[in-house]
């Protein structure tokens, strides 16, 4: 191969690295903002233990492999998740006194952030490029949305659709 051919191949390698790094950093910045600012602000549900709001997490994947995990930079949950039949009385995550709240959803009794990380760590999106997955670590997130009609994650779809691509910085 000629010198110009080697230089060209080196240039292509450098462009791929710069592009990869730019995409990764842009996705991380977007994910951090989403789970720390957007989702908690959009949340319209009371925080009893804080497991849902503190478990907002995201994973950035490349070629189906988790390459970055991030979670909400908010106050930690005050205790592990309640499970079906368990009764809670005391000061809630939001600082209100709660007496006799009966949990109705079966959980793994872990902290939500732990469950979210475990999910993202084992999940493998079917892609040959970058992917981002956003989740909570609470089994009752679907209950809050589907039964109680409270926004946990689905309200963020409009935000993601309108802001994701625009969050990438041009390569200089």
Look at residue 4 and give its three-state secondary structure. helix
In angstroms, rounded to a whole number, what is the distance separating the alpha carbons of residues 36 and 61?
19
Query: How much is the pLDDT for 87?
Result: 97
The angle formed by the CA atoms of residues 168, 169 and 172, to the nearest 5 degrees, is: 145
160: CB partners within 8 A, 6+ apart: 34
Report phi then psi at 169, rounded to 5. -90, 140
Record the pTM: 0.87
Burial class (CB in 10 A: 0-12, 13-18, 19+), 116: buried
Residue-level pLDDT, tens digit, the chain, 172 residues: 678 888 888 888 888 898 899 999 999 999 999 999 999 888 888 899 999 999 999 999 999 999 999 999 999 999 999 999 999 999 999 999 999 999 999 999 999 999 999 999 999 999 889 999 999 999 988 888 888 887 888 777 777 777 766 676 666 6
Query: How much is the pLDDT for 164?
Result: 67
| E strand or H helix that includes residue 15 | helix 3-33
In angstroms, rounded to a whole number, what is the distance separating the alpha carbons of residues 105 and 82?
8
Strands 65-71 and 57-62 turn out to be: antiparallel
Among residues 60, 51, 58, the alpha carbon closest in space to that of 36 is found at 58
Q: Where are the beta strands (DSSP E) in 41-167?
A: 57-62, 65-71, 87-91, 97-102, 130-135
- DSSP secondary structure string for all residues of 16-51: HHHHHHHHHHHHHHHHHHIIIIIHHHH--S--SSST
């Amino acid at each position: 191969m000629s010198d110009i051919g080697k230089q060209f191949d080196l240039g292509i390698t450098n462009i791929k690295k710069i592009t990869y790094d730019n995409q990764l950093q842009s996705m991380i910045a977007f994910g951090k903002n989403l789970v720390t600012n957007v989702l908690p602000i959009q949340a319209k549900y009371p925080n009893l233990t804080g497991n849902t709001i503190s478990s907002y997490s995201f994973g950035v994947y490349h070629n189906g492999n988790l390459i970055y995990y991030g979670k909400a930079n908010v106050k930690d949950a005050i205790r592990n998740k309640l499970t079906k039949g368990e009764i809670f009385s005391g000061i809630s995550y939001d600082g209100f006194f709660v007496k006799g709240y009966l949990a109705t959803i079966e959980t793994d009794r872990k902290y939500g952030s732990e469950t979210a990380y475990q999910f993202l760590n084992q999940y493998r999106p079917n892609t040959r490029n970058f992917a981002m997955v956003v989740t909570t670590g609470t089994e009752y997130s679907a209950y809050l949305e589907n039964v109680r009609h409270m926004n946990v994650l689905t309200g963020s779809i409009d935000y993601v659709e309108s802001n994701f691509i625009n969050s990438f910085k041009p390569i200089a």
